[in-house]
C-alpha cells in the first residue's frame, strides 16, 4: 500500500544552491506517539493510513513518500548576535509541499530524521523530550490563535540519542507556511549572490505576500509586510506571556509564524526580565526584549535586501531605514490594542496606556501570575464580586485594590455592559497556557516511564485554552515554589 501525499514541490525547483538533496536516514523501530488527525485532514492526508504501520514508516523517515523531493534547506543566521554564514537544516528534511483546504501551501518537514550536509558536528537527531515540547507548545499556540508552525506527528525511533545522557530518539513532523527564515536571505547576501536573493525574494512574494507583487516597488512592499507581520506576531507573544527564547535570525520566519520551539516558555509571575533559556545568559531574548530583538533581526533582513531596493546604495539604505522606522509604531499599535482588549476596553482613551502600565508594574512588584491575573480580571469585569480572586494573586493585595478603583472608573465610560465585557475578555485572556512545570512533568513521564497519558491530557486541555475546564482547573494554576522551572534547554 502506498500513501499518497499530494506533493507539489516548488522550493525544490529553485536552483541547486538553495538546498541539498538528501534522504532521511532509516531508524530501527518506529512507533507512533501521536498523529494530529485534524491537521492531517486539513492537509488532505488520510489520518487512518498515516497512523498505519506504512504511514509510520513515512513519518519516521524510513520510507520516502511518492512525489516527495527531500531536501535540507540552506540558510545562515545571527546566533546571539554572531553571524554564522552557513547553518541550514542540520537535522530536518523538507519532504515537500501540499496545498491545504484553505488553499495555503504548507511545507511538510521531518525534524530529527538524520544528518544532512548542514549538520556540522550534530547528529541530525532529536530527543523525545524536545519533540514533545515542540508538539505541545506549537499546538497550544495554534489553539491560542497565534500564527505558528504546526505539529502533524511525533514518532519514537526505537533508537537512543546521546545528549548529556542517552535519551529516546524521536522525529517530529512539522508543518509550516514555509521554512524560509530571515537567515535564508542572509545566506545569499553573505555570498553576494544577488541573483539568488532576487529569486528568493520573488519566490517569497509569490508564496506569502502576493499583494506586494501588485505594488510599484514589490521588494519594498515585501519588506514592509514582513515588518508588519513580525510586529504583530511579537505583540501577540507579549499578550500571552510567551518567551521564544532563541530569537536568532535563523529562527525568525519570513511568513510571520512562530517557529523553532526550543527553550521557549510561558511566563508565570509577570516580570519583563524573565529569561528561561539556559544558553541566554545575558538576557538577550528576555520577555520584554523581544520587540527590540525583532527590530534588530528585521534590520538584518533589510540589509540583505539593499541591492534589490535601489542600485544606488545611499538610496537603498534610506529606503530600508524608512521601512524599519515603521516597526515601532506598528508594534505599539498592536501591543496597545491587545492590552485594551485584555482590560475590557472597547473605546480608546489616552489614559488607557498608563492604566495598563500601572497594572503591569503592580503585577511585577507583587509577583502576580500573568495569565491568571487577566483571566480573573475578566470575571471581575462583571462586577466587584470577582475582585477577591484577583487581589489574592498580589503579594500586597492593596496594590490591586488601588488600581481596580481607577479601572472601574474607566469601565464606567465604556458602552458595554458587564456581562458582555466578561465574555469579550474571556475570549482574549486564556485560562490555560502550557505551564513549564506541567510541560516538564509531561516530558519526564514520557521519557522516564514511557507514559504518554500526561502528554495527551495536557494537549487536550490546551486545545481549548479560553474555556474554563473545571475538571482540569489544576492545569491553570501557577507552580508551587518547589515546582518552579527556572531553566529550559535547547532542543539539540
Binding of Mg ion at residue 257 (CB under 5 A)? no
CA distances from 299 to 217, 244, 255 (A): 19, 19, 16
Count of other CB atoms within 10 angstroms of residue 470: 5
Least distance (Å) between residue 251 CB and Mg ion: 5
Cell 489574592 found at: 392
Asked if residue 461 lies in contact with residue 432, where contact means CB atoms within 8 angstroms, the answer is yes
Q: Are 434 and 143 in contact (CB under 8 A)?
A: no
Name the 3-class secondary structure at 109: strand
**Which of the choices Mg ion, ligand AMP, none does residue 91 contact, using the CB cut-off of 5 to 8 A by kind?**
ligand AMP
The three-class DSSP label of residue 172 is strand
Question: Which range of residues in 45-53, 200-208, 253-261, 454-462 is near Mg ion by CB under 5 A?
Answer: 253-261
- Is 250 one of the catalytic residues? yes
Say whether 269 sits in a helix, a strand or coil.
strand
Out of 260, 280, 319, 387, the only residue in the binding site for Mg ion (CB under 5 A) is 260
Strand partners, 77: 84
Write down the least CB distance from residue 278 to Mg ion, Å: 16
Annotation: binding site for Mg(2+) = 251, 260
If binding is defined by CB under 5 A, does position 249 make contact with Mg ion?
A: no
| Number of residues binding to ligand AMP, judged by CB under 6 A | 18
Q: Which residues 88-117 are close enough to bind ligand AMP by CB under 6 A?
A: 88-91
DSSP 37: H
- Candidates 123, 358, 365, 440; binder of ligand AMP (CB under 6 A) is 123
Cell of 11: 522550493
- Closer by beta carbon to ligand AMP, 464 or else 492: 492
Task: Map residues 205-244 to x or -, x wherever contact with ligand AMP holds by CB under 6 A.
Answer: ----------------------------------------
- Residue 168 and residue 123 in contact, taking contact as beta carbons nearer than 8 Å: no
**Options 109, 251, 304, 476; binder of ligand AMP; rule CB under 6 A:** 251
Judged by CB under 6 A, the stretch of 123-131, 236-244, 361-369, 432-440 that binds ligand AMP is 123-131
Q: Which residue is nearest to ligand AMP (CB)?
A: 122
Q: Does 251 bind Mg ion (CB under 5 A)?
A: yes
* Of the candidate residues 47, 65, 124, 196, the single one contacting ligand AMP (CB under 6 A): 124
CA distances from 110 to 45, 135, 230, 480, 491 (A): 16, 13, 25, 37, 14
Residue numbers annotated as active site = 250
Binding region for ligand AMP (CB under 6 A)? 87-91, 118-119, 122-125, 246, 251, 260, 262, 490-492
Residues that bind Mg ion (CB under 5 A): 251, 260
Amino acid at each position: 500500500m502506498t500513501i499518497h501525499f499530494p506533493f507539489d514541490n516548488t522550493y525544490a525547483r529553485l536552483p541547486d544552491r538553495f538546498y541539498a538533496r538528501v534522504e532521511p536516514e532509516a531508524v530501527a523501530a518506529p512507533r507512533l506517539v501521536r498523529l494530529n488527525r485534524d491537521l492531517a485532514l486539513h492537509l488532505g492526508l488520510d489520518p487512518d493510513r498515516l497512523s498505519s504501520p506504512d504511514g509510520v514508516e513515512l513519518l519516521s523517515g524510513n520510507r520516502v513518500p511518492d512525489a516527495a523531493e527531500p531536501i535540507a534547506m540552506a540558510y545562515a543566521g545571527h546566533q546571539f548576535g554572531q553571524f554564522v554564514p552557513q547553518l541550514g537544516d542540520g537535522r530536518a528534511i523538507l519532504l515537500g509541499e501540499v496545498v491545504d483546504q484553505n488553499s495555503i501551501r504548507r511545507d511538510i518537514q521531518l525534524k530529527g530524521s538524520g544528518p544532512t550536509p548542514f549538520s556540522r558536528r550534530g547528529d541530525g537527531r532529536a530527543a523525545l523530550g524536545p519533540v514533545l515540547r515542540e508538539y505541545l507548545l506549537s499546538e497550544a499556540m495554534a489553539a491560542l490563535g497565534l500564527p505558528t508552525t504546526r505539529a502533524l506527528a511525533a514518532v519514537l525511533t526505537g533508537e537512543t540519542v546521546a545528549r548529556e545522557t542517552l535519551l529516546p530518539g524521536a522525529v517530529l513532523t512539522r508543518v509550516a507556511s514555509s521554512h524560509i527564515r530571515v537567515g535564508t536571505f542572509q545566506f545569499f547576501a553573505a555570498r553576494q549572490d544577488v541573483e539568488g536573493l532576487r529569486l528568493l525574494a520573488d519566490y517569497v512574494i509569490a508564496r506569502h505576500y502576493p499583494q506586494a507583487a501588485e505594488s510599484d516597488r514589490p521588494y519594498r512592499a515585501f519588506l514592509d509586510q514582513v515588518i508588519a507581520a513580525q510586529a504583530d506576531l511579537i505583540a501577540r507573544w507579549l499578550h500571552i506571556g510567551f518567551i521564544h527564547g532563541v530569537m536568532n535570525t535563523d529562527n525568525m520566519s519570513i511568513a510571520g509564524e512562530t517557529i523553532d520551539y526550543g527553550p521557549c516558555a510561558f511566563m508565570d509571575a509577570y516580570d519583563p526580565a524573565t529569561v528561561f533559556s539556559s544558553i541566554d545568559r545575558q538576557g538577550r531574548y528576555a520577555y520584554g526584549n523581544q520587540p527590540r530583538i525583532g527590530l534588530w533581526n528585521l534590520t538584518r533582513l533589510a540589509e540583505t535586501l539593499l541591492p534589490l531596493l535601489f542600485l544606488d546604495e545611499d538610496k537603498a539604505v534610506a529606503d530600508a531605514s524608512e521601512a524599519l522606522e515603521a516597526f515601532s509604531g506598528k508594534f505599539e499599535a498592536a501591543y496597545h490594542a491587545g492590552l485594551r482588549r485584555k482590560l475590557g476596553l472597547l473605546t480608546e482613551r489616552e489614559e488607557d496606556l498608563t492604566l495598563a502600565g500601572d497594572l503591569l508594574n503592580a503585577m511585577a512588584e507583587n509577583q502576580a501570575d500573568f495569565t491568571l491575573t487577566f483571566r480573573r480580571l475578566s470575571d471581575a469585569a462583571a462586577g466587584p464580586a470577582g475582585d477577591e480572586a484577583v487581589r489574592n494573586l498580589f503579594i500586597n493585595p492593596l496594590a490591586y485594590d488601588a488600581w481596580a478603583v481607577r479601572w472601574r472608573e474607566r469601565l464606567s465610560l465604556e458602552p458595554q455592559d458587564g456581562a458582555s465585557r466578561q465574555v469579550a475578555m474571556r475570549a482574549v485572556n486564556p485560562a490555560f497556557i502550557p505551564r513549564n512545570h506541567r510541560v516538564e512533568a509531561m516530558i519526564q513521564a514520557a521519557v522516564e516511564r514511557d507514559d504518554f497519558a500526561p502528554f495527551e491530557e495536557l494537549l487536550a486541555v490546551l486545545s481549548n485554552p479560553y474555556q474554563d475546564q473545571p475538571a482540569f482547573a489544576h492545569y491553570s494554576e501557577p507552580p508551587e515554589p518547589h515546582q518552579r522551572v527556572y531553566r529550559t534547554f535547547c532542543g539539540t
